[in-house]
């Protein structure tokens, strides 16, 4: 993964919101409508829409459907990035 591309995506408003919402679901996968509903509780879903293509391109999220319902979820790579971000956040908290 190109670190510069990841850094540019990390700085976008919807990045952490997307990961925060998906982390609340089992297997980091949510039905599209539920995802947008939870995201709208604290953010605008347009922030996700601006990043969606980049997240897909970087293979951090996946979109799929099952029995006519659409889902948004983190890929294995996305789960790894999320775990690393949590560890980095913990390190920063310890430093302060």
* Distance from C-alpha of 91 to C-alpha of 77, rounded to nearest angstrom: 21
We find that the CATH architecture of domain 3-95 is Orthogonal Bundle (1.10)
What is the reported pLDDT for 44? 82
Q: What would the pLDDT profile of 17-53 be if each residue is shown by its tens digit?
A: 899 899 999 899 999 999 999 999 988 888 888 889 9
What ranges in the chain are assigned the alpha helix state H?
3-10, 13-22, 32-40, 45-57, 76-95
17: closest CA among 30, 41, 7? Answer: 41
């Amino acid at each position: 993964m190109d670190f510069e591309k990841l850094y540019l995506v990390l700085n976008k408003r919807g990045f952490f919101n997307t990961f925060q919402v998906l982390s609340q679901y089992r297997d980091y996968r949510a039905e599209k409508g539920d995802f947008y509903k939870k995201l709208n509780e604290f953010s605008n879903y347009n922030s996700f829409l601006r990043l969606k293509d980049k997240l897909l391109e970087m293979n951090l999220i996946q979109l799929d459907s099952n029995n006519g319902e659409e889902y948004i979820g983190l890929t294995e790579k996305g789960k790894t990035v999320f775990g690393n971000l949590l560890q980095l956040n913990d390190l920063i908290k310890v430093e302060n």
